[in-house]
Amino acid sequence: MASLDDLKKRIASVKSTQKITKAMKMVAAAKLRRAQESAERGRPYSQKMNNIILNLSNGISDKENAPKLLSGTGQEKTHLCVVMTSDRGLCGGFNSNIIKKAKSYFAKILDEGKELKIITVGSKGNDQLKRVYGDKIIENISFKESKNANYFDADKVGKMVIEKFEAGEFDVCTIFYNQFKNVITQIPQAQQIVPLNNDGEESNSDESYEFEPDEDEILSNLLPKNISTQIFKAMLENSASEQGSRMSAMDNATRNAGEMVDKLTIEYNRSRQAAITKELIEIISGAESL
């Protein structure tokens, strides 16, 4: 049994840990609100962009000569995966969930004998992936300096993806991120962005558009932008998910620390009483022997 002094020290240390986790939870809650707002504000843009592209690709007459970003290179040999994680830890299963999803996808691709290339965004993902897939990682980007997700950063990633596509370095590109559902639930997502995959989404308007200049030109201008937009959307969803995940993780940690303090306090009191009882017995038996 630990001595009274040890118990006292442990209680103090658990209490101070609890204070930290509580503070982190508060900070995450405040940041979450902001991140959630910007994720919601960013949705109209990506939705509108998607709609326009949908309308355009339906209107395109010559499917065979459609831009490669839309129709693909015609083969599926090299896969590029953009894995988006956070730069900070202590956010529960947030990063592990993305990595788990990504790893199962990687395994499938490698089983099929295809080539795999990885870009990691965020240092936590890089840390976890470089042990197993170190030789597959071609780029590692981290936006530690920027406080909030911004379009400028997303555009940088987008331009890099497009550059690599035009250089013929990959055929299919998929991004991995956590979609924010609510504070407790974040769903890891794998979204294919090149070639654009619009299965199951039908354009709701039969209305025909006029295009100026022609469809092909608009599409080839729009598709690179769409990639940046999709990446930006993923970044926004990710940052909301990260804060949500951290908030619930820290909430759990605070509660666990509270339970631990209670348990330790009971143990402390018990051993204090035991010590007193022991002393009393000693005094009494000492007095009796006289």
Partner 1 sequence: MSEEFKIEIVNPDKSYLEREDVSEVVVPAFEGEMGFLKEHISIISFLKPGIIKIISKSGNENYYVEDGIVEFKNNNLSILTSSIFKVDDIGKSKQQELLKQAEEEANKPEISDQSKYLADQKIEILKTLN
Q: Site residues (CB under 8 A) for partner 1?
A: 38, 41-42, 44-46, 48-49, 52, 55-56, 150-151, 154-155, 205, 207-213, 218, 221-222, 225, 229, 232, 236
> How many CA atoms within 13 Å lie on the side-chain side of 194?
31
Query: Which residues are CB-contacts of 8 (< 8 A; sequence separation ≥ 6)?
Result: 268
Residue number with CB closer to partner 1 (203 or 271): 203
| Minimum gap (Å) between residue 41 Cβ and partner 1 | 4
| Minimum gap (Å) between residue 196 Cβ and partner 1 | 16
| Minimum gap (Å) between residue 261 Cβ and partner 1 | 43
Residue number with CB closer to partner 1 (191 or 220): 220
Contact status, residue 95 vs residue 86, Cβ threshold 8 Å: yes
Give the position of tokens 């199962």: 104
Residue number with CB closer to partner 1 (211 or 268): 211
C-alpha R_g of the chain: 28
Burial class of residue 118 (count of CB atoms within 10 Å of its CB; 0-12, 13-18, 19+): buried
75-111 burial, b at 16+ Cβ within 10 Å, e below that, comes to eeebbbbbbbbbbeeebbebbebbbebbbebbeebee
| Minimum gap (Å) between residue 137 Cβ and partner 1 | 27
What six digits make up the tokens of 42? 């960013």
Whether 91 is catalytic is: yes
Residue number with CB closer to partner 1 (126 or 239): 239
| Annotated catalytic residue, options 14, 82, 91, 172 | 91
Question: What are the residue numbers of the active site?
Answer: 91
